[in-house]
Structure 1
Amino acid sequence: MPTDTLAAIEASIAARSPFDRATKLRLMVAGQHVGWLPRAHADVLRGMGCVLGPEEETPSGPSVELLPGRGDFEVRSAALEALARQLAEGGHVRGWRDELFAVTPSLDAPALAVVERAAARFLGLLTFASHMNGVVRGEPTFWISRRSPSKAVDPGMWDNLVAGGMPHGSDPLATLVRECEEESGIPAALARGVQAHGCIEVLREIPEGVQWEHVYVYDLELSADFKPHNQDGEVAEHRRIGPDALLAIMSAGAMTVDATLVTLDALRRRGWLAPAGNPA
């Protein structure tokens, strides 16, 4: 593949992935790092009367404690529910989901609280997602999906065949199996045959705040006659596409950042894309 195409893709990712630590505070809950809070958002929270501790300097940089002294999961969660509703009423968050995300320092750590998904990126919380490359068996071909124009985040952009955020109480595979049925009509028995390929970290500033996400990567090989069909209205269309056309979409910045990273990972693993610096 031409090196200028890969350079264009990498430039698109970089342009959409700024992150200035000087404008962020390490957000702590019960002494554990759970997010990157923009300083401007800290000002909003203080103005709303949200309980934030004083800014503290640590060896890892400035930090602030959210809900200091609230030592109970239920108490913290209730306070965050009220806060999320205040943020929504004030126009600071959009796309209310009625879905709870864990407030946690890592996937394998107990949740310290839960919060409405729509508020997670305002707070810069660490979140988790599952993404799946749909690969046509025996062909260098992918199925991809276009996000509905009504989506609150990245409307109308191209995405992996299946992608979804991980709610509290779920896990990467269970999240993926659910999303497979909802987004592409892939039955659970087929979806459980995915191959896991690790995790990609995304950390970038976005209009809502910060996307700090651990994206769990999967591939699923699909028969040549399989055709996905959306069930939940969140996908505008599916497209069966080869590497060259897919690279063109990515180089134009028409695919979400996380889906672009997941797709590049699959292309490299399958030998359909030369490693950076080594032209195909």
Structure 2
Amino acid sequence: MSSTSSPMSYLDLINHCDNTSVNRFTSSDSSDALFEELTPLRLSPSPSSPIIGLLRPIMVRQLRADNDRSKEQGKEEMWYLNPGLQTNYVFEQDEITSYTGARRTSSPTSTGYASLQSWLDTPQKRTAAMKELCERWRDEEVFPHVCGKKKWRNEMYPVYKDPFGAHDYPNDFDRDNLNYAFELERSACALFGVVTYGVHMTIYQEDIASKGLKIWVPTRARTKPTFPGMLDNTVAGGIPSGMGMFESLVKECMEEASIEENIVRQHARATGVISYFYKTSAGWLQPEVEYVYVMPIPLDADTAPFTPKPLDGEVESFDLLTQNQVISKMRAGLFKPNCALVLIDLFIQLGYITPDNEADYMKISTRLHGRFDYDHWEPQVRA
């Protein structure tokens, strides 16, 4: 997002990032001609199987095509498509590579769901099947603007049966009782509407004179596949499959900001979590959870070990900005959308945004901790 002509409020910034509401849809009529009926993605064909994602109509069509491909090649089908899954759409473009939306041609009739087939009954089998599928889609440029060759991240993200449950892994617990379901290439997560997880940390120092903060703010490299050149939180990154939250933070601190492990372990602390449901401009669904950390620089400390410096090429530069400068740039839309939410959460935590100075305080506070309308991820949903 580029700079806006009028400053955005804190609530505007949240609305820009948490921009999707999924509600149960039972009416046979809709004035929204371009709405998309979303299909729940279950882990297995059983109707009691957990819902792990949401599929757009273009994805349902693609899964049907992949099943047809498997049958032609004499292979087992990968996808179960419930008989109740009947979606009446015409696509704006016949070619998947140029698809931008779908238009409903009659009242919604879908009461079904999709899932992985029952033969994919272990995390290892699911991971292998999804890896083959996504790599083939990458090489064939099926969804070039999502997980094509130029968007491929080569990072594996965990998918959980319960998105609010334990972040376990096969090496840690009994394989039969895991919340962990499988892992998936990072760039493909938005295709399947699965919840993803990350860590964000702010390094700041108190400015005694102004009674405010000075915050280390990075500018993202222009070569980044997402949000190039925008402002970010001091350290941020996804949580790889099999790695814990704090260990992910330690890794990102060194890779992105050259902050030594001993400094992170001694001074970083967890302050909570934010969650939001982001829909991209192309319509892809990204429900995300960010575990939030802070690293306040002690007043009497040597600041050198806390000073971030680019290392892995993902950050162009770091700047120490005043709190007012940060707020001004946030309201101008210069921060990556979810990073603005982390900063708003920081200002609440430290008492700079309060019920007395912010009329939307209650709305802001509750919106930072959403559940993606997960209780409504059942048949007959729309976004």
The normalised TM-score by structure 2 is 0.65
Residues 1:65 and 2:139 are matched in the alignment:
no
Pick aligned residue for 2:223 from 123, 127, 150: 150
Residue type of the alignment partner of 1:72 = T
**1:90, distance to aligned residue in structure 2 (A):** 2.2
Pick aligned residue for 2:314 from 234, 257, 261: 234
Residues 1:39 and 2:53 are matched in the alignment:
no
For residues 9 and 40 of structure 1, what CA distance do their matches in structure 2 show? 34
Residues 1:79 and 2:129 are matched in the alignment:
yes
Q: How does 1:7-156 map to 2 (within 5 A)?
A: 8-21=9-22, 23-30=37-44, 31-49=49-67, 51-54=79-82, 64-69=113-118, 70-88=120-138, 89-92=140-143, 93-94=147-148, 95-104=151-160, 105-106=162-163, 107-108=165-166, 110-137=179-206, 140-156=213-229
- The Cα offsets for residues 73-113 of structure 1, whole Å up to 9 and x where unpaired, read as 12111110011112213241142122211121335153111
SS in 2 for 1:66: strand
For residues 359 and 186 of structure 2, what CA distance do their matches in structure 1 show? 39
Match of 1:210 in 2: 285
Pick aligned residue for 2:347 from 261, 267, 279: 267
**Structure having the larger proportion of residues in strand:** 1
Residue type of the alignment partner of 1:126 = V
Residue type of the alignment partner of 1:90 = E
Residues 1:166 and 2:180 are matched in the alignment:
no
- The Cα offsets for residues 247-276 of structure 1, whole Å up to 9 and x where unpaired, read as 111111111121111100111211223443
**1:63, distance to aligned residue in structure 2 (A):** 6.0
CA RMSD of aligned residues (A): 2.4
SS in 1 for 2:81: coil
Aligned residues: 272
Larger radius of gyration: 2
**1:114, distance to aligned residue in structure 2 (A):** 1.2
Q: Do the aligned partners of 2:258 and 2:308 also contact (CA within 8 Å) in 1? A: yes
- The Cα offsets for residues 184-230 of structure 1, whole Å up to 9 and x where unpaired, read as 11111111221111111121211372111110000001357332111
How high is the sequence identity, in percent, across the aligned residues? 24
The 1:83–1:218 alpha-carbon spacing in structure 2 relative to 1, beyond 3 Å, is same
For residues 229 and 62 of structure 1, what CA distance do their matches in structure 2 show? 52
SS in 2 for 1:202: strand
The 1:62–1:187 alpha-carbon spacing in structure 2 relative to 1, beyond 3 Å, is farther
For residues 44 and 254 of structure 1, what CA distance do their matches in structure 2 show? 36
The normalised TM-score by structure 1 is 0.88
SS in 2 for 1:173: helix
Unaligned runs of 5+ in 2: 1-5, 23-35, 68-77, 86-109, 167-177, 362-383
Identify which of structures 1 and 2 has the higher relative contact order when contacts are C-alpha pairs closer than 8 Å and 6+ apart. 2
For residues 55 and 203 of structure 1, what CA distance do their matches in structure 2 show? 29
